[in-house]
Amino acid sequence: MTHVTFVLRYEEVRVTTVADTLVLDSVRTFVSTDKRLLIGGEWVAAASGRTFPTYDPATGERITEVAHGDATDIDRAVAAARRAFEGPWSRFTPSQRQSLLWKVGDALLARAEEFGQLESIDNGKSAAIAQAVDVVWSANVFHYYAGWATKIEGRTITPSVPWLPGSEWHAYTLREPVGVCGQIVPWNFPLLMATWKIAPALATGNTVVLKPAEQTPLTALLLGEIFCELGFPAGVVNIVTGFGDAGAALAAHDDVDKIAFTGSTEVGKKIVGAARGNLKKVSLELGGKSPNIVFADADLESAIAGSANAWLFNHGQCCVAGTRLFVEDSIFEEFTQGVAEFASQVKVGPGLDPTSQLGPLVSQEQLDRVTGYLDQGRADGARALTGGRRIGDTGYYVEPTVLVDVRDDMSVVREEIFGPVVAALPFSAADGPVADANNSEFGLAAGIWTRDISRAHRLAKQLKAGSVWINSYNAFDAAIPFGGYKQSGWGRELGEAALDLYTQTKAINVQL
């Protein structure tokens, strides 16, 4: 590989303002009114009458007011979900559920630009990327689980019952819905995370109370309009916007049968505690600090682009972000410079600007958190090959940052930063840095770049991670199970695996 000269280009990054005319009329209309809660098929104010603002991370300006739901509203939503579960939804046939879910996928595709823009305004991410990735993928998830609705099957079993000689038996299993599912989602992929949870829950016949993140409630509410328009019975999907206390009330609620959570490991542990009261089923998708391992024999051009995107995609606000970059020592310098060069050329700007590749972080809180880690890294002796600071003073923009001269005990190497920051570490072991890569409380994902296929498969088995990508990163599909080892979570979403989260098995034993 030719040596790549490293150029610092941040002085050139221009944070442009976006022409107002870019915003669709439908998006304008949607945000022109205060947003309400969806409970029992009605759009209602919070019982307290309170609202809270949601902000555009590109400007810090208020977009609209959203109902501030609390424990009282969670109570109302759970009651509505219970009525729908015991009532009309239980009478829907699998093929009726299939056809409704398929229509949700179609509606998302038909309104992809609108959803993409709304996601961009609320979260900061590029509208073009949101449309092409978040929305298309969300539609794909609904289409995928539509297919499963008609394929949920039990088994027939022939029991022996040896202590009842001469008896004859027939047994079979049913896979039944769990019931009322509480679902709590984060702000990094607001629509997509809601979709990953709602689609398998409905395919299997459950009802839902969704609590979106306070920073990004809007696309879930737009999705709620689709459920109403398509004629889902009232109460099948309920949406309560609000803060952590609403999530806590949902996790603790005695009439909720299952809680599914995506977010920080810290809150994940609180969910486990809250679920104790009625021992509701719990599934968790939590944090990560994923290793991405590059051998000297890799296709370096694709490894550089892939390794940069591993931690840059969605501004590093990905639970799977490949933020510990292990590079074989013989190529460490040229490879990390290549990644730094790639990162420094990424166009940072407002999400509505079609040329932006990277937008602002989601909030002032995240900006403070990420720049706090950068300050700590500097104080600990880490050196930035590129980046390291905030960009400008409007919006929450951070420079893509490649850190070298890092040690295993630094917070920038151990903790989830959730920003566009990678820590690069050299390794020399012929078969890869297995022990170092596994030296983390997390175990969500990992990447391996090499042309040696045997080595790649051997290493993939040794890594303690729920997803391993070989010669790629961030490759997802609705059909592939996803979830974490160690403190990265409980259970697997997506694929057939998610059906296990949303069904329970009943064994029926018949003496003939």
The residue ranges that bind ligand NAP (CB under 6 A) are 184-188, 211, 213-215, 243-244, 247-248, 251, 262-264, 267, 270-271, 285-287, 319, 369, 416, 418
Least CB distance from residue 186 to ligand NAP, whole Å? Answer: 3
For residue 325, give the 3-state DSSP assignment.
strand
Q: For ligand NAP, give the closer residue by CB, 295 or 418.
A: 418
Counted residue by residue, the chain has a size of 512
* 368: amino acid identity, one letter: D
Least CB distance from residue 193 to ligand NAP, whole Å? Answer: 7
Sign of the dihedral through C-alpha 110, 111, 117, 122: negative
365 is catalytic: no
Contact 57, 360 (CB under 8 A): yes
Q: For ligand NAP, give the closer residue by CB, 138 or 503.
A: 138
The DSSP letter of residue 131 is I
Spatial distance between the Cα atoms of 469 and 307, rounded to a whole number of angstroms = 11
Q: For ligand NAP, give the closer residue by CB, 97 or 315.
A: 315
Give the residue among 330, 471, 338 at the shortest CA–CA distance from 402: 338
Least CB distance from residue 431 to ligand NAP, whole Å? Answer: 30
Q: For ligand NAP, give the closer residue by CB, 142 or 442.
A: 442
Q: List beta partners, residue 282.
A: 259
Spatial distance between the Cα atoms of 321 and 191, rounded to a whole number of angstroms = 19
The DSSP letter of residue 278 is T
Angle separating helix axes 136-149 and 112-123, nearest 10 degrees: 120
Least CB distance from residue 323 to ligand NAP, whole Å? Answer: 11
- For residue 98, which phi and psi values (nearest 5 degrees)? -60, -50
Least CB distance from residue 316 to ligand NAP, whole Å? Answer: 10
Q: Cα–chain-centroid distance for residue 179?
A: 23
* 92: amino acid identity, one letter: F
388: left (phi over 0), alpha (psi -120 to 50) or beta: left
The count of C-alpha atoms lying within 13 angstroms of the C-alpha of 270, restricted to the half-sphere facing its C-beta, is: 13
Q: For ligand NAP, give the closer residue by CB, 146 or 259.
A: 259
Angle separating helix axes 94-110 and 136-149, nearest 10 degrees: 170
Q: For ligand NAP, give the closer residue by CB, 97 or 289.
A: 289
Q: List beta partners, residue 98.
A: none
Least CB distance from residue 280 to ligand NAP, whole Å? Answer: 13
* 170: amino acid identity, one letter: H
Spatial distance between the Cα atoms of 76 and 240, rounded to a whole number of angstroms = 10
Give the residue among 282, 307, 320 at the shortest CA–CA distance from 467: 320
Least CB distance from residue 266 to ligand NAP, whole Å? Answer: 7
Least CB distance from residue 250 to ligand NAP, whole Å? Answer: 7
The DSSP letter of residue 381 is T
Residue nearest to ligand NAP according to CB distances in the complex:
247
The count of C-alpha atoms lying within 13 angstroms of the C-alpha of 20, restricted to the half-sphere facing its C-beta, is: 1
Least CB distance from residue 244 to ligand NAP, whole Å? Answer: 3
Q: For ligand NAP, give the closer residue by CB, 35 or 103.
A: 35
**Active-site residue (options: 285, 399, 416, 493):** 285
Q: For ligand NAP, give the closer residue by CB, 246 or 382.
A: 246
Give the residue among 50, 16, 130, 14 at the shortest CA–CA distance from 362: 130
**Structural tokens at position 106:** 């179609």
Q: For ligand NAP, give the closer residue by CB, 41 or 247.
A: 247
Find where tokens 């009802």 sit.
Answer: 207
* Residues that are catalytic: 285
